[in-house]
Amino acid sequence: MHIAIFLDQHPRSLGGIQTSVMLQKKYLERAGHRVTIICPYSTKARATDGFWLLPSWPIALNGEYSFVANVRRSRKRLDRGFNELHNKFDLVHIQGDMWSGIIGLGFAQRQRLPIVHTMHFNMSTSISALLGKRLTRYMFWLLSRELLKHVNRPRSGTTGDPWHYLKMLADEASIVFAPSHHFAHDLEANGVAEKVQVMHNGIDDDTIASILAAAKEHPTTRNSKAPVHLVWSGRLQLEKRPLEFIRAFAMADPDAVVDIYGKGYLFRKAERLIKELGVEQKVRLRGTVPYTKMLRIFADSDALVQTSVGFETQGMTVYEAAATGTPSILCDHNIAGEFAPGSHWLVKDESVEALAAAITQAVADIKNGDRRADRLVDEDHLLQSGATAKMLRYYQSVIEHHNAPKY
């Protein structure tokens, strides 16, 4: 089958959703299927990618992130490209909820293709945190107006409510997916869809197999006298709470070092804060590294620290660390609920003091030989091959139902 995936950002730009889509493409193609990704331009794009790039404007100084700039031009480009295809699309999988999602929905309806939709993003929480409530409602009012051009709904359906906007998208899909049980519950509770299927974003089988094989061949024993090695990974933005983490680590002052991986608009502020708190020797900003290298770093660390609260719909870094056998210190109780009790350290509340206390406890436990990693979920549950096999069953069912004779 030939799958068209619509995405709000280029999959080679930094982000968990982008990484997930690239892995989906890899394993769908390995299973003998064809995948075309349709997305905005990015300076991270490669000429050999073969993606369909939509007309877009940059929203970052380095051009890594963009948004679709012209719906009409995008529509024409898509229809022309589809008409020239020898191997037509069998299904549209929308994995972006903004302009690319609207364009993908309209394209699927014009070409009479079945739609499935993965909602990766908690639009209500994330956009409000970035823009504030008033601008958020205005943005979703604009998006709803554009979406109404592609759905058979009265104009009175236009609102600025993010959940209502997502419901309008969901109503056009045969199946709606979410990457975790807790976000599926949120979507259902807010009336987006009556039933949301859980489809975890997977982790690269090849890399995990290589890491676990190396660990088996060269087993290591932790030196109890050595500082504990903690890792933080993600975009350095407000919703990820990197500054709160740095303050909590300085407050705890544990026998540990921490490497912070990622970039974002708080990078320079984090640099200054580290100097102000006098923890330059213990807290190191490492920038970004490739996906495979990041997984190996997780495997070599004692624990991952996850500090966002109410923002993550899955929290991929926690799953990636778990797949390598590394436990996490978790601030988000929803993410913690996806894992077995006793497999992590859970921060009591959102305060810096509570995070400092959890760091202190985790470091003490690790130095005392805590084998919390032994209680993590089986890595087979986390691998992309399993997620792909499950997704293909859904694809086949949707395509068969769509192509069945209508009486």
DSSP letter string over 133-189?
HHHHHHHHHHHHHHHTTTS---GGG--S-HHHHHHHHHTT-SEEEESSHHHHHHHHH
Please check whether residues 128 and 60 belong to one and the same domain: yes
Domain count of the fold of the chain: 2
Please check whether residues 184 and 220 belong to one and the same domain: no
Please check whether residues 334 and 395 belong to one and the same domain: no
Please check whether residues 289 and 391 belong to one and the same domain: no
Nearest to 316 by CA among 38, 10, 18: 18
Please check whether residues 188 and 225 belong to one and the same domain: no
131-144 average pLDDT score:
86
Please check whether residues 156 and 287 belong to one and the same domain: no
List the CATH number of the domain containing 254.
Answer: 3.40.50.2000
Domain containing 290: what range? Answer: 205-382
Please check whether residues 316 and 257 belong to one and the same domain: yes
The region of weakest confidence among 128-142, 299-313, 315-329, 388-402 is 128-142
| pLDDT digits 0-9 by tens, 93-124 | 999 998 888 999 999 999 999 999 999 988 87
So what's the pLDDT on residue 47? 64
Please check whether residues 261 and 172 belong to one and the same domain: no
Report the C-alpha gap between 45 and 50 in whole angstroms: 10
Instruction: Work out the number of other CB atoms within 10 angstroms of the CB of residue 8.
Output: 24
Please check whether residues 389 and 318 belong to one and the same domain: no
| pLDDT digits 0-9 by tens, 228-279 | 999 999 989 998 999 999 999 999 999 999 999 999 899 999 999 999 999 9
In the chain, the N- to C-terminal Cα span, in Å, equals 25
Strand order across the beta sheet in which 175-178 lies: 52-54, 34-40, 2-6, 91-94, 115-118, 175-178, 197-198
- Residue 58 in 3-state DSSP? strand
Please check whether residues 213 and 121 belong to one and the same domain: no
Task: State the pTM of this model.
Answer: 0.86
